[in-house]
Amino acid sequence: MKPEILLVLAPSNPPGIIEALEEHFVVHPISMSGNMARTAANLGAGVRALVTTTQAGADAALIDALPSLEIIVCPGAHVDAIDRAAAAKRDIVVTNAPGISAPDVADFAIAHLLAVARGIAKGDDFVRAGHWTSGPMGFSTRVSGKTLGIVGMGEIGRIVARRAEGLDMTVCYHEPKRKPDVSYRYFDSLVELARHVDFLSLHCRAGPETRHLVDRAVLEALGPEGILVNMARGLVVDEEALIEALETSAIAGAGLDVFENEPHVPARLRAMPNVILSPHKAAFTVETKAQMLELALANLCAHFAGQPLISPVPAMTASGAMP
């Protein structure tokens, strides 16, 4: 018999995921908008795998509602919404899809930077509104030849750096510690990095240590001609401080794909012409989603065949610490 799996339905699911899974498994789809634990408890004890999303994750209540659960599969890179300590208590393995979306996220970061600096959205509105017949729109800011600061020199940050080099930009970076294999100029102080660069692009991990990493001091250091791009997580930026910096022209603009309380975006941000907003879709390409689905299927099939997993997430102890 086919193993039973629980599939969390969400807008970020790869296209065709139900049909692809049904070739190998008995699929029980549930909505992430309801009480997932209550719904899961009604499905009985037969569910052995959970396929979730980076947004929905799997909390302790959902995991506890699935007494036969063996594996949690996330077709995405981030697993911070999965209670890995609760999974570890029952030796439930977790897999994800690391690295697949990195080129797309990097492309999106550069696209946001160009859109803000060159006034692409403002130009589109200018033409559509018929203002062009009354005179030119005005000047924008050059990107090539400028200095880009990258916060988080992981896989995405490194690809952004290569894209920036293609635009003849100088790259600098900030991390808690210098990366021995990275030749770009390193700043141990984020404020000093912000003071040195023209643009700041965020690609660091989200967590308690990075909450409001970009605060008023960093924004003030970035300066009135600076542009902030955030492809990391909303909590990395003090959103109220960012809004104030934009309203007072303490910085020139921002390109934001993530927000502190998404999908709710403050009206003050939505009203600003010097901000490019997108609905957390940097990784949303057909190509990336197809690869994520393929990897999710490979992990599931490997697990139920008793073979090594393709992309297991490092185990966490039941207390929440890494071994």
pLDDT in tens, 108-166: 999 999 999 999 999 999 999 999 999 999 999 999 999 999 999 999 999 999 999 99
Report pLDDT for 319.
47
* Cα–Cα separations (whole angstroms), residue 28 to 5, 31, 71: 6, 10, 15
- Encoded tokens for 28: 């029980």
Is the confidence at residue 317, as pLDDT, over 60?
no
pLDDT range class, residue 298, cuts 50, 70, 90: very high
Question: pLDDT > 90: what percent of the chain?
Answer: 86
- Encoded tokens for 232: 């990391």
Report pLDDT for 316.
65
Is the confidence at residue 32, as pLDDT, over 90?
no
Is the confidence at residue 23, as pLDDT, over 80?
yes
* CA separation for the pair 84, 319 (Å, rounded): 10
Taking Cα atoms as reference points, which of 229, 219, 232, 107 lies closest to residue 164?
A: 107
What value does the mean pLDDT of the chain take? 94
* CA separation for the pair 52, 270 (Å, rounded): 30
Place of tokens 């490997």: 302
* Cα–Cα separations (whole angstroms), residue 177 to 86, 152, 172: 31, 10, 14
Is the confidence at residue 323, as pLDDT, over 70?
no
User: What is the set of active-site residues?
Assistant: 233, 262, 280
Is the confidence at residue 44, as pLDDT, over 90?
no
* CA separation for the pair 287, 166 (Å, rounded): 23
Question: How does DSSP classify residue 58?
Answer: B
What average pLDDT does this structure show over 199-228?
96
Positions of CATH 3.40.50.720 in the chain: 4-100+286-304, 102-277
Determine the number of helices (DSSP H) and then strands (DSSP E) in the chain: 12, 12
Q: Contact 48/70 with Cβ under 8 angstroms?
A: yes
- Encoded tokens for 204: 């660091």
Is the confidence at residue 178, as pLDDT, over 60?
yes
CATH architecture of 102-277: 3-Layer(aba) Sandwich (3.40)
Q: Contact 248/274 with Cβ under 8 angstroms?
A: no
For residue 174, report the phi and psi dihedrals to the nearest 5 degrees: -130, 135
37, amino acid identity = A
Is the confidence at residue 17, as pLDDT, over 50?
yes
Per CATH, is 4-100+286-304 categorized as 3.40.50.720? yes
